[in-house]
Amino acid sequence: MVERFYSVGAIAKRLGVSVQTVRRYEKLGKFPSPRRNKVNNRREYTEEDVKKMLNILGRAE
């Protein structure tokens, strides 16, 4: 099974918050740190990360 990764923009949209909020919560240690793409150093979130963030926000699916 191939693991799918989501961009910070896709995560923000799914969580219903701004990209800036996702980055801020990550910096404050509220959200899990995502892995970084080895080519372009962009954040890459997994489905597990999404579940954790939704739980933190009180919006568990």
What top-level class would CATH report for the domain 8-56?
Answer: mainly alpha
Give the SS3 label for residue 9: helix
Domain positions in the chain are: 8-56
| Full-model pTM | 0.85
The DSSP string of 24-59 is HHHHHTSSPPPEE-TTT--EEB-HHHHHHHHHHTT-
Q: Are 34 and 45 in contact (CB under 8 A)?
A: yes
In sequence order, the 6+-apart residues with CB closer than 8 A to the CB of 29 are none
What is d(CA 2, CA 14) in angstroms, rounded to the nearest whole number? Answer: 21
9-53 tens-digit pLDDT: 999 999 999 999 999 999 999 999 999 999 999 999 999 999 999
